[in-house]
Chains A and B, each alone.
Chain A
Amino acid sequence: MMDVATKSLTGQGIALSFGGIEVLKGLDVEFRAGEITGLIGPNGAGKTSLFNCLTGAYHPQKGAISYAGHSLEGLPPAARAQKGIVRSFQHVALSPDLTVLENVMIGVARNYHSGWLHAFLPTVRGRHEKAEMRADAERALAELGLAKAADKMPSELPPGMLRLVEIARAIVGRPAVLMLDEPAAGLNNSETRDLMRSLSALASPDLVMVVVEHDMDLVMSICDRIYVLNFGAFVACGTPAEVRSNEEVVRIYLGSDDD
């Protein structure tokens, strides 16, 4: 129990505003390892902004963020990535110049450290490293059922597939914290079901997984805990059953979503 608690990603009093508009109003969160946490809320609630604060893309005016007991204060996104804190993007952010496989290989790049010489010359170590990255990426693609798309360019794939590629890039490097921003947007029903299965399979005692999603079926069925965000503040937090029966949540979110 102790072990699990120390591996969590926590934020205390995270407050973020843009030019006087309060986007996040002092949020306290604890995303625990071994759980899949859902983060839901209407459009503009601040879900992506919270991700951005946690990964270091935004600088909250107030609040403390720590992972496994260590403060992430002042660490740029790249340094947080080095600690295994990884995310996917709501708006697909793949390089159009790279094949799908190469895009996914970038997800493991942070685990390799060969120098510049290996980048320019056909050295044994460089080739070895590339082969390993390739194998990792192929495995991640296969897990999401994308093996056939490996050598395609992103421009040749439909948006739903690109989102899966984006997820493959996030999971390929064996992250410690995995934050997925609307992973199922643009997927059809069967693709969403496959994705749910893959995400559930990914859960492990050491992994902190957070999923922002508008698809309630997905959130309710795979998440262990759910945070509900509205106008930059949490209105509820608990198990799917608790959240589903929370009147406030039903009113502001589920109610409007169902009809």
Chain B
Amino acid sequence: MASLVPCPHCGPRPKEEFTIKGAALPRPAPTADPAEWFDYVYLRDNPRGSYAEYWHHTAGCRRWLVVSRDTITHQVAACRDAAAQGHAA
């Protein structure tokens, strides 16, 4: 029915306005070990609890955000502009 995401630019907005990409992981260097790239592209933790993800405020400010939410309670602990913290979480 609803989940409100506190966009740092737009205020609380329903999840329908967003596109979720998935885990906010730092992108390896192009020369990084293949195993590191494999982890980045394919492996996910699926934690019970806190999880940082890339969300795009597609129908709002169109900024990419890093949303830290609890996968059990859906409580959003933090929501930052992805550019504000350089290369991912």
Q: Do A and B originate from a single complex?
A: no
